[in-house]
């Protein structure tokens, strides 16, 4: 607990496109050294047709009503100029990340960007250049960073428990953002349950229930005052859904046309399953393999989402100098049917992330070892604690959050996207060979 003399950090939010802003903002709002001062949305390419839970209007209303955000601006440039935030949480459309981060850097604000880093490698490099020039920190937030099991796998790889690493496999799937059956409306990056979800092979989970408590603060008004958000959303230890649908009462189901009007299903905004899910695998495989990728081949298709112009399924095969990875993302998966992993294969064994805090090592012939995990460092168990610890101590961020590392991961994802368009194996770029 911070003492009374500890620095208070003014935190703002730019962008409510991603529903994951709800959990990221909640973690900052709960930090004792944070004051949630203001927020602003980005301007969507096309207006959404309906305000429903986890659409951008609902997300902003939730921040103003339940997370202590004091004020909303129509223009985020004005917010930056008038509020002078120390930290800005960025949850805009993927394609708008570069311009938002550049604006924050111009005002010397540190940024916490909800994954993926950008919609392209060129965009990621713009973000890195802006932050380096301004001397500000950029953190890219990934669910797997907060999984003790994912970190345990990395330590076992480094200890040589599976010999020489040969392959990383990642799969993530659900039925698509804002669909009637997808339970992806928030992500608890701290205390997931004991089973890995069908929709995300990491520490977040689907389903479960959340607790609604503490009536909304009286006097909290905004341009979205007609949009219902009841109570303060409090996470429970066995859930990551920000609101239990039964608790909400009336079930709001978006039609396909209404979903298609959201940025998730718009290519120009950086939507699509490949960007949404294969980015997790790109980050993960780069972290585990521990060397830059050289090339990638991708395939993507719109198999069952004709209301949008994006892929709803994508796969990327990644070549490293001495290993490979397979990254799969799907928005048409009702149930995976098998454990999602991730799975890491080496010359002497295979590591599987069975749950948030359990790792399994298989050596063949029935030789199985189960590893329990260690707690994450005190005060650094989530994205808010990690950012503030870094700013206070100048200790490096966890590797998976670092902007240079994430630019490399974005280069893998970018190569996969280019390969899906060209039908050819594409090189993974580096800053040396990337102009623009």
C-alpha dist (Å) from residue 64 to 26, 190, 224, 262, 374: 11, 23, 9, 21, 36
Which of 14-28, 131-145, 174-188, 257-271 bottoms out in mean pLDDT, i.e. has the lowest? Answer: 174-188
**What's this model's pTM, rounded to 2 decimal places?**
0.86
Average pLDDT of 63-92?
Answer: 98
* Contact between 329 and 274 (Cβ < 8 Å): yes
Q: Which of helix, strand or coil describes residue 298?
A: strand
Tokens, residue 22: 């709800």
Task: State pLDDT tens for residues 183-195.
Answer: 544 433 343 333 3
pLDDT score for 249 = 39
Q: Which CATH class is domain 9-142+380-399?
A: alpha beta
pLDDT digits over 98-152, tens only?
Answer: 999 999 999 999 999 999 999 999 999 999 999 999 999 999 999 999 999 999 9
pLDDT at 211: 24
Does residue 182 surpass a pLDDT of 70? no
User: What is the predicted pLDDT for the residue at 240?
Assistant: 31
What is the predicted pLDDT for the residue at 436? 61
The band of 180, judged by pLDDT with boundaries at 50, 70 and 90, is confident
Q: In the β-sheet with 313-319, what is the strand arrangement from edge to edge?
A: 368-372, 358-362, 350-355, 343-346, 165-173, 324-330, 313-319, 295-301, 426-427
173-187, 354-368, 374-388: least confident range: 173-187
Domain boundaries, the chain: 9-142+380-399
Q: What's the pLDDT at 4?
A: 59
Residue with tokens 């909303």: 72
Q: What is the mean pLDDT of residues 309-331?
A: 98
Residue-wise pLDDT tens digits, 224-256: 333 444 333 333 222 233 333 333 434 578 999
DSSP-assigned states of every residue in 350-367? EEEEEETTEEEEE-STT-
**Range list of H helices, 366-402:** 383-393
What average pLDDT score do residues 59-85 get?
98
pLDDT band at residue 340 under the 50/70/90 scheme: confident
Q: Are 240 and 225 in contact (CB under 8 A)?
A: no
- Which of 70, 285, 88 shows the shortest CA–CA distance to 171? 285
Q: Are strands 87-90 and 110-114 parallel, antiparallel or unpaired?
A: parallel
Q: Is 148 helix (H, G, I), strand (E, B) or coil?
A: helix
* The dihedral sign for the CA sequence 188, 179, 44, 219: negative
The contacts of residue 312 (CB under 8 Å, 6+ apart) are 176, 272, 273, 301, 302, 303, 304, 305, 330, 331, 332
| Mean pLDDT along residues 214-220 | 30
- Tell me if the bond preceding 212 is cis, omega within 30° of 0: no
The mean pLDDT of the chain is 86
């Amino acid at each position: 607990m911070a003492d009374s003399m500890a620095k208070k950090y003014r935190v703002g939010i730019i962008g409510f496109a991603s529903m994951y802003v709800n959990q990221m903002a909640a973690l900052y709002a709960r930090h004792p050294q944070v004051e949630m001062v203001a927020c602003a949305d980005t301007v969507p390419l096309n207006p959404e047709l309906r305000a429903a839970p986890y659409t951008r209007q609902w997300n902003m209303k939730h921040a103003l009503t339940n997370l202590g955000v004091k004020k909303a601006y129509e223009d985020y440039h004005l917010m930056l100029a008038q509020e002078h935030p120390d930290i800005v949480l960025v949850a805009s459309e993927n394609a708008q990340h570069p311009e938002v981060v550049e604006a924050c850097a111009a005002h010397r604000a540190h940024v916490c960007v909800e994954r993926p880093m950008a919609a392209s490698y060129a965009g990621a490099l713009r973000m890195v250049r802006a932050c380096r020039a301004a001397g500000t920190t950029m953190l890219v937030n990934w669910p797997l960073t907060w999984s003790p099991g994912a970190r345990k796998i990395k330590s076992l790889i480094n200890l040589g428990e599976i010999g020489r690493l040969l392959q990383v496999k990642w799969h993530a799937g659900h039925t698509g953002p804002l669909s009637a059956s997808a339970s992806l409306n928030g992500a608890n990056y701290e205390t997931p349950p004991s089973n890995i979800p069908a929709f995300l092979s990491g520490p977040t989970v689907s389903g479960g229930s959340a607790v609604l408590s503490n009536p909304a603060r009286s006097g909290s008004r905004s341009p979205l005052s007609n949009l219902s958000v009841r109570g303060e959303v409090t996470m429970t230890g066995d859930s990551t859904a920000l609101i239990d649908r039964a608790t909400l009462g009336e079930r709001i189901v978006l039609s396909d046309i209404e979903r298609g009007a959201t940025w998730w299903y718009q290519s120009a905004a950086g939507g699509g399953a490949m960007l949404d899910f294969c980015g997790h695998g790109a980050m993960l495989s780069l972290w585990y393999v521990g060397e830059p990728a050289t090339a990638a081949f991708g395939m993507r298709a719109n198999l069952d989402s004709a209301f949008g112009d994006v892929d709803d399924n994508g796969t990327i095969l990644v070549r490293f100098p001495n290993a490979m990875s397979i990254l799969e993302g799907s928005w048409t998966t009702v149930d995976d049917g098998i454990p999602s992993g991730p799975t890491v294969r080496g010359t002497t064994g295979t590591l599987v992330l069975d749950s948030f805090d359990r790792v399994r090592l298989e050596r063949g012939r029935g030789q199985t070892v189960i590893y329990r995990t260690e707690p994450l460092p005190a005060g650094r168990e989530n994205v808010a604690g990690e950012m503030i610890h870094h700013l206070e101590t100048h200790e490096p961020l966890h590797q998976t959050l670092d902007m240079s590392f994430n630019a490399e991961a974005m280069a893998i994802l970018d190569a996969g996207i280019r390969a899906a368009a060209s039908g050819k194996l594409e090189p993974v770029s580096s800053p040396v060979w990337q102009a623009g």
